[in-house]
Amino acid sequence: MTRKQIVVEAALVGSRNLLAGTSLASLSLAGCPRRMIQYVADSLFLHRAMSGRRKVPQKNVVDVLSAGGTQSIRLGALDTDQAWFWPQAFYTQDIVSLCLICQIVQPRFVFEIGTFRGYTAYHFALNTTDETRIVTLDLPREAGVRANLPVSIIDRIDIDERAKSDGYCFDGTPEAAKITCLEGDSAMFDFAPYRGHVDFFFVDGAHSYDYARSDTLKAIACCHSGSVVAWHDYGKPVCLA
């Protein structure tokens, strides 16, 4: 499918979702289909959160993990356009929460599904000890690569964008030595060497139900008693490609 076809399909999906439950304000973003879809998804996501329709109760990190009244975190890549300080403020809360998990739990082994440009992997490295090992998995950076399970339209766009990018935001930093980048489809990847060894597992790959379920089962198998599993974009509406 060409880039033009993806844009047209994204615009159609955004229009459908507009009728399904968000405001007419999103029509002002019709010239940028990806932003339109993002606006609609974020609006519906916020509505679900505020109306208690996310099914699984939402809790803050400090409500789940024991922590003192004061915690210090480290933030990096602030001089790039990759930082999660976006117009949607909850992405900033997301990276702060992930850093807090690392500071509170102090995992020795972290596994992540969904590297993209390495922003979260970098922050895992920034907020753990020098001995901590971070392994992060994503699809190969090859043009035309496709996932084995259904993915959302945004996932497909991200896959194409990642194929065009070079390097990671942690390249050239001291923390890069702690990070191992692997390539492969999480649905087909052999997690056997990591079973029972992961202290903190972060699931942030494709956002379809099929991948979320598959990645979650893999994460649970890799963890042990006392491990922590976190999911990104939990409860956000998606449109399958």
Instruction: Note whether 157 and 35 are within 8 A (CB).
Output: no
At residue 54, the pLDDT reads 74
Residue ranges of domains in the chain, CATH in brackets: 1-58 (no CATH), 73-231 (3.40.50.150)
Name the token pair of 59: 């809790």
Structure tokens at 23: 């405001």
pLDDT at 73: 96
* Weakly modelled stretches of the chain, pLDDT under 70: 1-27, 241
Q: Supply the pLDDT for residue 61.
A: 92
How far is residue 141's CA from residue 136's CA, in Å, rounded to a whole number? 14
Contact 41, 17 (CB under 8 A): yes
Distance CA 168, CA 27 (A): 34
For residue 133, give the H/E element and its range. strand 133-138
H or E stretch at 112: strand 109-113
Residue with tokens 């491990």: 227
Cα–Cα distance between 81 and 45 in angstroms, integer? 24
pLDDT at 30: 72
Q: Which long-range contacts (CB under 8 A, 24 or more apart) does 39-47 make?
A: 40/14, 40/237, 41/17, 41/154, 41/236, 41/237, 41/238, 42/88, 42/236, 44/17, 44/20, 44/236, 44/237, 45/233, 45/235, 45/236, 45/237, 47/21, 47/22
Residues 6 or more apart whose Cβ sits within 8 Å of residue 91 = 84, 85
- The pLDDT score that the predictor gives to residue 105 is 96
- Amino acid, res. 154: I
pLDDT at res. 16 = 60
What is the pLDDT, as a whole number, of residue 42? 78
Q: How far apart are CA 148 and CA 141, in angstroms?
A: 15
